[in-house]
Amino acid sequence: MKVRLVIDEEVFEAELFDTPLGKAIAALLPVEGRGAFWGSEIYFPIALRRSLERPQELVQPGDLAYWPGGPSFCIFWGPTPISGPGEIRPASEVEVFGRITSDLAGFDRVKWPVVRVERVE
């Protein structure tokens, strides 16, 4: 499923994977929340509680992931405060459910991360 993330004045195109978690996130759309930065990650709370089916300790630039500790919708584009050299490490295990498909450079311009995620028809 194609989605759009609007953060400040930046717009990012993304896709949600055809997985149980991707479908659960899609069913919540549109969602909006005040995000917080953690290094090169923005996360914001969502109304979804579930266990991780495919937990990961590392993610890739552009990954969209669910963090059950929030629970939160997470957007990664670079290292976090606990990342080692050449890696992106979430605070704890997450499950990736989608990916940003447009240029990630706009994340460096985001100052106040109010995030809206909506379907693209």
Number of domains the chain is built from: 1
At 113 the pLDDT is 83
Assess contact for 100 and 59: CB atoms under 8 A.
Answer: no
At 25 the pLDDT is 97
What is the Cα–Cα distance from 23 to 33, expressed in whole angstroms? 19
Assess contact for 89 and 82: CB atoms under 8 A.
Answer: yes
CATH code assigned at 27: 2.40.100.20
Q: For the segment 9-46, what is each residue's pLDDT rounded down to a tens digit?
A: 999 999 999 999 999 999 999 999 999 999 999 999 99
Mean pLDDT of the chain: 96
The band of 98, judged by pLDDT with boundaries at 50, 70 and 90, is very high
Alpha-carbon torsion angle 89, 10, 106, 116, nearest 10: 10
What is the Cα–Cα distance from 75 to 49, expressed in whole angstroms? 18
- Quote the domain boundaries for residue 7: 2-119
CA angle 48, 52, 58 (to 5 degrees): 115
Mean local confidence (pLDDT), 96-110: 96
> In sequence order, which residues have a C-beta less than 8 Å from that of residue 38 and are 6 or more positions away?
80, 81, 91
What is the Cα–Cα distance from 64 to 118, expressed in whole angstroms? 14
